[in-house]
Amino acid sequence: MDFSSKLLENAVYEISQLPGIGKRTALRLALHLLKQPKDQTSALSNSLLKLREEIKFCSNCHNISDVVLCEICANPKRDESIVCVVEDIRDVMAIENTGQYRGLYHVLGGRISPMEGVGPQNLTIDSLVNKSKEGIIKELIFALSSTMEGDTTNFYIYKQIEGMGLKTSTIARGIAVGDELEYADEVTLGRSILNRVPFENSLKLG
In the complex, least distance from residue 8 CB atom to a copy of itself, rounded to whole angstroms: 6
Q: Is 129 in the site for a copy of itself (CB under 8 A)?
A: no
Give the contact letters, 39-78, x = binds to a copy of itself (CB under 8 A), - = no.
-xxxxxxxxxxxxxxxxx-x----xxxx---xxx------
Considering only 22, 31, 81, 173, the residue that binds a copy of itself (CB under 8 A) is: 31
11/44 Cα distance (integer angstroms) = 13
Considering only 1, 148, 164, 187, the residue that binds a copy of itself (CB under 8 A) is: 1
In the complex, least distance from residue 68 CB atom to a copy of itself, rounded to whole angstroms: 12
**Amino acid identity, position 43:** A
162/90 Cα distance (integer angstroms) = 28
Phi/psi at 163 (5° precision): 85, -5
In the complex, least distance from residue 118 CB atom to a copy of itself, rounded to whole angstroms: 10
Residue 106, SS3 per DSSP: strand
In the complex, least distance from residue 124 CB atom to a copy of itself, rounded to whole angstroms: 13
DSSP state of 92: H
In the complex, least distance from residue 92 CB atom to a copy of itself, rounded to whole angstroms: 7
Closest to a copy of itself by CB, 50 vs 167, is 50
Q: How big is the CA angle at 128 (ends 126 and 133), to the nearest 5 degrees?
A: 95
168/144 Cα distance (integer angstroms) = 13
184/174 Cα distance (integer angstroms) = 9
Q: Are 152 and 112 in contact (CB under 8 A)?
A: yes
Of residues 75-114, those binding a copy of itself (CB under 8 A): 88-90, 92-93, 96-97
In the complex, least distance from residue 47 CB atom to a copy of itself, rounded to whole angstroms: 4
CA distances from 26 to 1, 4, 85 (A): 12, 16, 36
Binding-site size for a copy of itself (CB under 8 A) equals 59
Residues in contact with a copy of itself by the rule CB under 8 A:
1-8, 10-11, 13-15, 17-20, 25, 27-34, 38, 40-56, 58, 63-66, 70-72, 88-90, 92-93, 96-97
